[in-house]
Every structure is written in structure tokens, then in C-alpha cells.
Amino acid sequence: MSSVVAVGTFDGVHRGHQHLLADLRRRAAARGARSVVVTFDPPPRIVLRPDADYQLLTSTDERVALLEREVDTVELLAFDAALAATTAEQFCAGLVERHGMVELVGGPDLALGRRRAGTPPVVREIGARLGFEVGLLDQLALGGQPVRSGEIRRRLLAGDVPGAADLLGRAPTLQGTVVRGDQRGRTLGFPTANLDSPAERLIPGDGVYAARVGGRPAVMNIGVRPTVGGTRRVVEVHLLDWSGDLYGKRLTVDLIARLREERRFPSLEALVAQIRSDVAAAREVLGA
């Protein structure tokens, strides 16, 4: 069966990506073809610029799951030096061979193959030889601002959860495996699950957040915990009205709102009083 294909990293699968994927589905339906996304693990930037500080909005599993909601088929390619050396024509020929590609869809910054040489004019020439068309879509803009993964990262680092959610089209998330901490939250009466997130995963700006874990209301703290003399940045989540053993489990935290910045308190008693206030504020925000 023939296919209409889009290629990219699609980090975050944000509203700009969703705009492109909706057009991909429309074009595929008009042709009676499959809608196909080809994406990469790891993202090319991590391989091509290993020294750059590039942080991801979504894990590979999250990204693929989100893409699978949008299109018929998702192909995940391992991005390595060999794939990076593939020419645009070789890459496109592979898409034609594997997927029966009859149309390649992309945005104005489409660039495929070695050294990103496969720009729209180049890919159109390749398509004329290999038998596929190229469809370009203008980039989605909201409020005059192009929707880009980089802008979502900037907003999250600034603690602007609603702003990030507006561009994503859903609540931003943070994933991690629960590991043992110093048990201090338990001694204060607010046990927390400490999350160990992959180094390449973006951690929002320090502060206290209202959140949900599997639909359950929660309060999340990101920071060094200066009141107790902490020096290492941690991510810890307190699930409201719940108790149990979460060690070793992988949690997905939906961020809803930033409640306040992280700060040092004069005593543990003052810290506990503030945590109680944070819990009350989170309940109000979350309707819990």
C-alpha cells in the first residue's frame, strides 16, 4: 500500500507537530494511502552535537506513543554515524522502498540526509526521479509566535506551566523511576517519591508544583532543598491521600501549575507549615 510520510524528531509532539500530522492524515486519506511518521532514537542532535546541552521534552517511548495516536504507522530508526552519513537521495529511496512513499510532507525547514542537504528544492528534484511528490506546510503560529520545542523548553525552565501546556496542547510531563532518598519527607509527615530522570530529559525550573500522577493529585518539588542543607538537585513528588511502596516504579507526572519558587525557611517548623500551605494550594488548583 502507498504511503504519505513525514520525517522528524517530533520532540514533545506539540501543537505545531499535531498541525503537520493532521495535514499528513488529510493528504493520505485523499490518496487512499497510509499516514506514516519516521522518527529517530536518539534524536539526531544528540549524536551530531554530543557536547551540546540538548534536553528532551519526551522520552522515546512517550514520543512514539503520542505519534501512534496521530498516524497509521510509526517507524523508529536508530540514529547513528552510518545513518547520519546517508545522503538525502539514499534516505528518500529507503522510504520509497519500505513504505511505498508517494508524498513526503514537511514544514518550511525540511532538511534530510547528510549535512541536512535535502532541502525542499533538492527533495523535489529527488522526488521527480524516484516518483514521489513533496508537500510543504507553513509552520503553525499562536499569537504570532511559531510553535517550537525550544520555546516550550524555555517556558518550562521559567516555570511557566500554562504557557508550555498551551503550546503542547496538553499538560507537560516528567517521567522517572522512583529511587530511595534520605527519607526526610517522611520524617516531616509528607513522604515523597524521589524521581531519577534520564540526564537528557528536561527538568522544569526549581519550585513547587501542583501535579497529577496517574490522575491522582500531587505536589512536586524541584530543587536543592536549601532549608535542610541540600546541595544536589532532586525531583520529589508527594501524592495526596495515598500511601504505599513506589520504589522501582516508573511514574509519569503531569504538571498543572507552579505554586511558588523554592526558598530557604528559618526552621523545619516553618518549612512544614509552608508544605501544608502548598498542599492546600494544590488541592484548590487541582479541585482535589
| pLDDT at residue 239 greater than cutoff 70 | yes
Evaluate whether 170 touches 200 at the Cβ level (below 8 Å).
Answer: no
pLDDT tens figures, 255-265: 999 999 999 99
Residue with cell 524541584: 222
- The number of CA neighbours under 13 Å toward the Cβ of 179 is 10
Q: Which CATH superfamily is domain 3-146 in?
A: HUPs (3.40.50.620)
Q: Do domains 3-146 and 173-286 have the same CATH topology?
A: no
Kindly list the domain boundaries of the chain, sorted by start residue. Answer: 3-146, 173-286
In the structure, what pLDDT confidence band is assigned to residue 211 with cuts at 50, 70 and 90?
A: very high
What is the C-alpha end-to-end distance of the chain, expressed in Å? Answer: 49
- CATH architecture for residues 173-286: Beta Barrel (2.40)
| CB proximity list for 18: less than 8 A, separation 6 or greater | 70, 169
This prediction's pTM = 0.91
Beta strands across the sheet bearing 34-41: 73-78, 34-41, 3-7, 101-106, 133-136
Average pLDDT on 21-40 reads 98
pLDDT tens figures, 130-189: 999 999 999 899 988 889 999 999 999 999 999 999 999 999 999 999 998 766 655 666
Q: Please provide the average confidence, as pLDDT, over all residues in the chain.
A: 93
